[in-house]
Structure 1
Amino acid sequence: MKKAKKLLFQAASLIMAAVLFTGCYYPLTSKQKGWISQIEKYYPDDTFTYVGHSTVSMGVTSPSCISLESENFPHVDVQIYEVDGELYSNYPRYYHEEAVVEHFSDLVISCFGCDYVDLKMTDTADKPLKYVSDEKYIEKYAIHHYIAYVYYEEGHAYPTEDELEEMALDYFQHITTDNDDRGNAFRLCFVRPGDTKHGKDLDMDYMFDFHDGVASLYNAKENYYVFKGPLEDFI
């Protein structure tokens, strides 16, 4: 009898574990089927496959967020959910990433005078699920969250800190989007071609921030602010 109860308990535990750790436990609602129709309408050049409900924490799934596979971005767990009647997704961030990287790279080269740049986006904010052009996405949704290695050829001097301050103020005036609570925060690592330096070994390492009208330039190598305060005080 005790053995039978033990087996029943183990079986029940396995069933509960399967329920908790599978994204298909919650049924796909008719509204969520409509979400899939929306993303298919906005991005007809991709193919999406429903895989379940998204894991939110500790392996527990959420009934309000669905996961899709994307044929064009097979490494991405595409998520869709609704907030106050508006759909949000991480998909637009990947869809427009190439154009955003090119735009920010051109802006860095233009403002800071480097020869070329290797830029990686660190923006993880989900965006409204709607189709817009690359240009409109950059204007409305692209947050200046990235880390960039800026390369200056041998013989091409790095900017002085005074020059860098002027360059930073020029850059801040190009920012059109400030709709993220984390602000626009990015980092420039100044190196020579072929360098593999990191951290304190970098030739120059600066962090830039602009949010709610407040701008700052921080020397991360020497640990001090070059300036910090309302942007209007410096221009």
Structure 2
Amino acid sequence: MADRLEFRSKLSSIQELAAGQGNRLTVEEIEKFFEEDSLSREQTELVCDYLLSQKVSVIGYKKQPGKIIEAEEEVADLDSEEQDYLAEYMQGIEGMKSGNAKEARIAYYLPLVVDTALQMHQKEVFIGDMVQEGNISLMAALGRCEAGADDEDIVMEEVRAGIRAFIESQTETKRQDKKMVDQVAELDETIRHMSEDMGRKVSVDEVAQQLGMTEAQIEAILNLAGEEVKKAQEDK
């Protein structure tokens, strides 16, 4: 337990490190941070996956096949709303190309961000949100480069890392939402069956005992479901 708590503490610490760097870390920085722990490659990948789910861009890391399907491997078709968004967005970029040097520099990269977002697109994530997240990473990357001294490969790797982190955070949110929906459905069914069997309303502690959960967990789920169950002491 002590080792587990210590590792959780280190995860919190590395998130603080990332926050101080604009939610951005390299694989090398992660490996150095956990150097004393002698993590295996698989453990390092799990740390990188966790950081991605917390919306931290991990430069130089690509999720391995077999965990969550890599977005680049299965490009989703755009719906009509996404197509309209991109058409309008690309028109706006054209107007920037004739601007000053700073605008022209950004305008050069913006279509590359769109291409990258399209390559990584998943149907569960709106393409416009992916483009905007890519643009945030783009501006951060360009801000670290001197004007006219960009390394396009490095800049676009940061864009990909930013979009990848956004996709993972969205995926994790959807996982948690589905888990909660499933819990609400299970709880609702359990309460219904117990009430029918007992011929009365059941208490929170009775439901908690039946499902092997704490009363606090049951009440949290009930609040989301808008249900009410009387406490045992109220039935006495």
Q: TM exceeds 0.5?
A: no
Instruction: Output the TM-score relative to the length of structure 2.
Output: 0.25
Instruction: Output the TM-score relative to the length of structure 1.
Output: 0.25
Bigger relative contact order, structure 1 or 2 (CA pairs below 8 A, ≥6 apart): 2
